[in-house]
Amino acid sequence: MTNRDILNRLGLARFPFGTDPGAVFYAGPQHREAAGFLESALQSVDLLVVLTGEQGAGKQTTLDFTLRQSLPGALVAPLGSLPTGPDDFFAGLLAGFGFDGLNASRDEMRGLIEVFLGQQLQKNTTTIIVAEVPSTVSGAVIKELGWLSLLNSVRHGRLKLVLLGGDGVERQLAAPRMHALRQMIRWQHRLEALGIAETRDYLEFHAEAAGSDRPDKLFSPEASARIHELSGGLPGRIDQVAARALNIALEANEDTVGGHCVRPPEDGDTAKDAPPPRRVAALDILLDGQPTARISLNASRLLIGRHPWNDVRLDHDSVSRHHAMLVREGGRWTVVDLNSTNGIRVNDHVVRQRRLNHGDVVQVGQFRLVLGEGIAPTRSLEAVEDDVSATTILPG
């Protein structure tokens, strides 16, 4: 039986994993939000845009999708890792613009960059420079970024430097020596790993995109959970683990990928060094001391209040229409009072805004919201895995 015969037996027009990652784009909550962030940032008049996330989270894929959708005519100049010296930085920019092998002074390179970007501006062409952030950004390069930010192309929104990086970028930007760089960054977003429900949806999406007429049946629930465990919810690793599992199922002449087909990456696979699964934050909601629900915090911003339009609706007279907001920044959650009538308390202290730690208790009207980690809901809690916008908490 040929590979085509095997794929036909599974109802697949092509293999769903390991193909061009740009061929299809999974627009789940995490990536849809990141794409929306990038679209807004790329339309701004700011130079720097920062997108962080673990390796395999899909930063480059999301950026490529956003550019195809929002700026199809843009000139994209890949810089690789952001150089540590000004001369290498300018030479890298010019190479990205198509000027290779130049032997020029720093001032000459500045002048050529300014002329080239001026020509792009006259053609109404947006120039996107894409760079990976190294472990250290030198003060000399930060100074040249300041020079770039003053060019006419930036003031007209036609020049962007998109910085992609992992957890180290967030720690690096928090250092006092990075103050000048932080002052230039107004657009920063973190692309989180997928939760279990999103991983299952991701697998179904790729199965459907590959032609499956039963995308929800190709991977068993046990297989989906095991893939999430081994991949940490990182799409790049999900592709690798799921592809191997599907191949094992095909070799065994099975029509469904079961949990027994999902195995750790083989030796030599770059995925073997990936971090363990990220512990996803969760919010336990209690009313009059009784557990009501547990919500996985898989978005970067949640509105809480009595009005149906809130992400989490607390339907009680003690709660204002738009009472509070939870915001995730740099991997930490902050609660903000939205001028509510009864205010909010954190650990019995009245606050307007407070960064939260795991175990903190936020009082919203008669409800107590406890920030924890959503590894597994307790039996007395309702697990809400899907879109939190559908979550309504009613008084018992």
User: What's the DSSP call for residue 28?
Assistant: -
Residues 250, 101 share a domain: no
Q: Tell me the average pLDDT across 288-306.
A: 81
Q: How many angstroms separate the CA atoms of 217 and 331, rounded?
A: 34
Query: What pLDDT shows up at residue 47?
Result: 95
Strand partners, 321: none
Q: Please tell me whether residues 313 and 216 are part of one structural domain.
A: no
Tell me 272's DSSP state: G
For residues 90 and 307, what is the distance between their CA atoms, to the nearest angstrom? 52
Check whether 2 has a pLDDT greater than 80: no
Boundary residue ending a domain (191, 212, 245): 191
CA distance 369 to 330: 21
Residue 18 maps to a domain: no
- Is 271 within the bounds of a domain? no
pLDDT top residue among 194 and 127: 127
Local structure of 73: helix, strand or coil: coil
| Sign of the torsion angle spanned by Cα atoms 80, 82, 85, 88 | positive
Do 208 and 184 share a domain, yes or no?
A: no
My answer on whether 63 and 176 are in the same domain is yes
Give the Å distances, CA to CA, from 146 to 48, 102, 120, 164, 306. Answer: 10, 23, 20, 19, 45
Residue 206, domain member (yes or no): yes
Residues 243 and 334 occupy one common structural domain? no
Task: Spell out the residues 6+ positions from residue 344 whose beta carbon is closer than 8 angstroms to its own.
Answer: 323, 324, 335, 337, 350, 351, 362, 363, 364
* Strand partners of residue 344: 351, 364
pTM reported for the whole predicted model: 0.69
CATH code of 296's domain: 2.60.200.20
Residues contacting residue 5 through CB under 8 Å, at least 6 positions apart: none
The whole-number pLDDT of residue 192 equals 83
Nearest in space to 17 (alpha carbons), one of 197, 156, 204, 198: 204
d(CA 47, CA 44): 8
Of 204 and 274, the one with more pLDDT? 204
Asked which of 84-98, 111-125, 161-175, 301-315 is least confident by mean pLDDT, the reply is 161-175
pLDDT of 197 over the 90 cut? no
Identify whether residues 115 and 229 lie together within a single domain: no
Contacts of 92 (CB under 8 A, 6+ apart): 79, 80, 83
Whether 298 is in a domain gets the answer yes
Give Cβ neighbours of residue 317 (< 8 Å, ≥ 6 apart).
Answer: 306, 365
Return the percentage of the chain with pLDDT > 90, whole number: 47
The CA distance from 10 to 389, in Å, is 35
For 8, the token pair is 């036909």
List pLDDT tens digits, range 238-296: 999 999 998 898 888 888 899 999 998 765 444 445 555 445 578 889 888 788 887 87
- Distance between CA atoms of 97 and 115, rounded to whole angstroms? 12
Does any domain span residue 390?
A: no
By mean pLDDT, which of 258-262, 311-315, 379-383 is the weakest? 379-383
What residue spans of the chain are helical by DSSP H? 3-9, 29-42, 59-70, 86-96, 106-122, 139-149, 152-155, 167-173, 179-184, 196-209, 221-231, 235-251
Tell me how far apart the alpha carbons of residues 285 and 283 are, in angstroms, rounded to a whole number.
6
Specify the number of domains making up the chain. 3
pLDDT of 34 higher than 80: yes
* Minimum mean pLDDT range among 31-40, 250-259, 262-271, 334-343: 262-271
Q: Is residue 170 domain-shared with residue 34, that is, in the same domain?
A: yes
Q: Are residues 165 and 37 in the same domain?
A: yes
With respect to residue 137, please indicate whether it lies within any of the assigned structural domains: yes
- Answer whether residue 270 is part of any domain: no
| Claim to verify: residue 186 and residue 198 sit in the same structural domain | no
Q: Which among 195, 190, 207 has a CA at the least distance from the CA of 242?
A: 207
Whether residue 43 sits in one domain with residue 149 = yes
Give the per-residue pLDDT at 296: 75
pLDDT band at 87 (very low <50, low <70, confident <90, very high): very high
Segments forming the whole domain that contains residue 228: 3-12+194-261
Overall average pLDDT of the 139-151 stretch: 93
Q: Is the pLDDT of residue 331 over 90?
A: no
Using DSSP bridges, classify how beta strands 332-337 and 324-329 pair: parallel, antiparallel or unpaired.
Answer: antiparallel
- Do 216 and 178 fall within a single domain? no
Q: What is the pLDDT of residue 382?
A: 39
| pLDDT cut 70: percent of the chain above it | 86
Per-residue pLDDT, 375: 38
**Do 49 and 105 lie in a common domain?**
yes
* Residue-averaged pLDDT of the chain: 83
